[in-house]
Structure 1
Amino acid sequence: MRNIAWEFRPKTLEDFVGQQHLLGKNAPLRIILQKSIQNNHVLPNLIFFGPPGSGKTSLANIIATNLQGIFLNFNATNFKLDILKKELEKYQHTLTKPLVFVDEIHRLNIAQQEFLLPILEQGIIRFIGASTENPFFTLSPALRSRSFLFEFRYPERNDLEILYNRVITKYPPKHDFMEIKNWLLDNHTGDTRAFLNILDVALDIDSIMQVKKESLEKMLQNSQGAKSQDTHYDYISALIKSIRGSDENAAIYYLACLIQAGENPEFIARRLVILASEDIGNANPNALNLATSTMLSVAKIGYPEARIILSQCVIYLASSPKSNCAYLAINNALDDTKKRMDDVPSHIKTHAKDYKYPHDFGGFVQQIYHIGKQYVHFKGIGFEKTLQEWLEKIKRK
């Protein structure tokens, strides 16, 4: 039985379509791979992240084929450390360095990530991870620091047209296919695998009768629901902006859209944690506590019950007073420190003898900590008003 998505999966770098920012001529990832494959250079640890169907796993397989070594392929959804340990023991006293690939790497727990750290540090294996989630939110800093991170993007229309032409050249349709071609290219979700699958179905129908785009539209809607290129970005953006705008009903609607589309509850929860600090902050400090608890809870529980936890959090955040004071303060300070970092005043350096210990003066004493501009501008909203009043009382005293 024909499977176009599998058959036309790229086997070489030359076959690979898209990701020109990474694999085009003189692009960074291409240079790294060419040196590793052609000149037998050591392959650095790599982490690919980006939307599904953008070629992350395909590229990992291409690298494995070209390196012609031991390839250990894992998926983090059922990853077990014992299995990896047993595999690595086989090569413990050899010069062989297996290439270990872990798909959905964002699903590794902390213990599993920490196990990888010394292995990567010592170069015992060559390593590639792939994720549909941003590793800056899902992976430990230690694991990220030992790897080169490359972001994959949705393929362009021209990329998919190249794939379309390859397929049609081998499997030419019996009927006029121009309308179907234009519909496929205009309505693709950015998922190459899904694009080839629907093309496969269209060619099957074409072998019997003329294909109607209306039939494909219905099939695509039923099979994918709201899961499209817009789901991951536009719906989460609408959710965040609705919460920021204190529209609890709109926020719950967009949360429902994300759940209906099968969005990972952990991804939604992480965005809520960021919002709790960025848009609410000290106007309601408990918002961050609840969002963090939500993130931990949905990771353990999952759907369908996770929908209730997410709903509770979304309503709470939308109903909370809003302040971006903390967000603006750190950004302004970072802008200044990029230009210059001042010396620390001598009296507050380590072991300074002329430092005045505030507790010896009833909790506060006037002394210079930094000669610079004001970064924190309270807005007098919610609990921030209380914090501002506390500071004023402390300094007056």
Structure 2
Amino acid sequence: MRPRSLDEVVGQQRLLRQGSPLRVLAAGTEGGGGAVSVILWGPPGTGKTTLAQVIAHAGGRNFVELSAVTASIKDVRTVMDRARGDRDLYGVSTVLFLDEIHRFTKAQQDALLPGVENGWVTLVAATTENPSFSVISPLLSRSLLLTLEPLTDDDLRTLLRRAVADARGLGGGVELADDALDALVQLASGDARRALTGLEAAAASALAGGDAAQSGAAYADGEEDEGKGKPAVTAEIVSGSIDRALLRYDRDGDEHHDVISAFIKSLRGSDPDAAIHYLARMIEAGEDPRFIARRLMVHAAEDVGMADPQALQVAVAAAEAAQLIGLPEARIPLAEATIYIATAPKSNSVITAIDAAIADVKRGSFGLVPKHLRHAHNRGAKRLGHGVGYKSPHNDPRGVLPQQQHLPDELADRVYYQPTDHGNERAVGERLDKIRRITRGT
């Protein structure tokens, strides 16, 4: 079912409009050469290989495909030498499709540069990783970067209906129920290859038995009406043929960072439903529960903080529980901590305070420790006046001493911690106001 022309491609229409770089590239003629190289960046099943092959086969150009998983520098140089010979001797240009270019080392990518710079090949590279981090700058600057998006639900429905009817697909050999179509779309998660694989598995199940017997029972005397008698692919058959939905998640790539970012921002935004959703995505994608627990602990301290100090204890308890019991049960304490933290009052006063203090220290604004606070448990220190004048707050009935300076002279009036009015911090703020009026006379 791979499209044979750009007009058959489903999805990515913003890249396939008339006059777009892909259209111009695909319209190249034999011997044209000099076409701009392209890097196609997108998730699996969005059409990267399809677009490369369509571009290559238009205009009678040579098509060479390499996989970065298996190709060596020698393989790359062999392709370049042959492409240069075909161009100079026969006037035939070559399209080199390099799949998973992010797996190439810097040296292997360097080997591509002469061919791309001199127009020996038109490079069409595909990657599921952000090229800004995985492709060398000289190659990236000489190529056009095009981003492919996951297919929409309507795109997938078009694709599946075409596969059912087309002679290259199932040739109308099965009936695809609406609920089965919806199930396949949902399970595909925007991946065309996943959708077609799911359809193939479900159709094979239906053809092997499934509803075929029921369909056959509807005919009397061996006569079949047109449009009847075909095995039906139902939602039940789809469910039995495919275990679970394909999650857009990679442990080290953009999707990993996007999902955890959404998880943290949902917690910060006090949206427990969204936070639980992203937690489920991470768990189902095989994320390390210890990583999730670490993020919960950080968030409890950073964004809940003193507004509810219990949040950090809940997060730590969830981390310990997850490590002790493991998945799948670990999902329960992780979910409990997620809901607790998402619904807790929020304050970032703790991280604001420590970051402001660190900034002062880095700038050199720290001064000397006041003498009355210095260590005085030896004779030499006492002779220097260390500890002289220090008073213990326990000797005051209020538990706080008036105007005993603790900060260095240069920072005597500095205020780092500024509590909010949220949750527990409202009471902390009221108490701290009283303390500062005594200790600083303010």
TM-score tier by shorter-chain length is: 0.5 to 0.7
Does the 8 Å CA contact 1:20/1:27 hold for their aligned counterparts?
no
Does the 8 Å CA contact 2:33/2:93 hold for their aligned counterparts?
no
Look up the match of 2:388. Answer: none
Runs of 4+ in structure 1 deviating by more than 4 angstroms, as ranges, are: 91-94, 173-176, 230-235, 241-246, 253-260, 390-393
Give the gaps of 5 or more residues in structure 2.
Answer: 212-232, 269-274, 296-301, 303-347, 369-409, 411-442
Q: Give, in whole Å, the separation in 2 of the partners of 1:391 and 1:192.
A: 60
| Structure number with higher helix proportion | 1
Look up the match of 2:38. Answer: 46
Cα deviation, 1:251-291, whole Å, max 9, x if unaligned, reads 9x98996597378xxxx9xxx9xxxxxx9xxxxxxxxxxxx
Report the residue type matching 1:59 in the other structure. L
CA 1:383–1:20 in structure 2 vs 1: closer, same or farther (change >3 Å)? same
Please show how residues 148-297 of structure 1 align to structure 2 within 5 Å. Answer: 148-170=144-166, 171-174=171-174, 177-207=177-207, 208-210=209-211, 211-222=233-244, 227-229=246-248, 236-240=257-261, 261=285
CA 1:143–1:193 in structure 2 vs 1: closer, same or farther (change >3 Å)? same
Q: Aligned pair 1:57/2:41, yes or no?
A: no
Please show how residues 86-125 of structure 1 align to structure 2 within 5 Å. Answer: 86-93=78-85, 95=88, 96-125=92-121
CA 1:122–1:91 in structure 2 vs 1: closer, same or farther (change >3 Å)? closer
Cα deviation, 1:323-343, whole Å, max 9, x if unaligned, reads 9x9xxxxxxxxxxxxxxxxxx
Q: Give, in whole Å, the separation in 1 of the partners of 2:51 and 2:71.
A: 21
Report the residue type matching 1:385 in the other structure. D
TM-score of the aligned structures, taking structure 1 as reference length: 0.58
Quick check: which has more Rg, 1 or 2?
2
Secondary structure at 2:43 match in 1? coil
CA 1:163–1:257 in structure 2 vs 1: closer, same or farther (change >3 Å)? closer
Does the 8 Å CA contact 2:30/2:93 hold for their aligned counterparts?
no
Does the 8 Å CA contact 1:379/1:385 hold for their aligned counterparts?
no
Does the 8 Å CA contact 1:236/1:258 hold for their aligned counterparts?
no
Provide the aligned C-alpha RMSD in A. 4.2
Does the 8 Å CA contact 1:46/1:150 hold for their aligned counterparts?
yes
Cα deviation, 1:150-201, whole Å, max 9, x if unaligned, reads 1111112222222222222233255562221232234431110110111112
Report the residue type matching 1:16 in the other structure. V
Look up the match of 2:132. Answer: 136
Look up the match of 1:21. Answer: 14
CA 1:189–1:254 in structure 2 vs 1: closer, same or farther (change >3 Å)? closer
TM-score of the aligned structures, taking structure 2 as reference length: 0.53
CA 1:180–1:242 in structure 2 vs 1: closer, same or farther (change >3 Å)? closer
Q: Aligned pair 1:80/2:72, yes or no?
A: yes
Q: Give, in whole Å, the separation in 2 of the partners of 1:37 and 1:392.
A: 74
Q: Give, in whole Å, the separation in 2 of the partners of 1:198 and 1:391.
A: 64
Q: Give, in whole Å, the separation in 1 of the partners of 2:257 and 2:358.
A: 27
Which one has more relative contact order, counting CA pairs under 8 Å at least 6 apart? 1
Does the 8 Å CA contact 2:11/2:155 hold for their aligned counterparts?
yes
1:387 paired residue among 362, 373, 384: 362
Secondary structure at 2:124 match in 1? strand
Shift of 1:93: 4.7
Identical pairs, percent = 27
Q: Give, in whole Å, the separation in 2 of the partners of 1:174 and 1:112.
A: 47
Aligned residues: 276
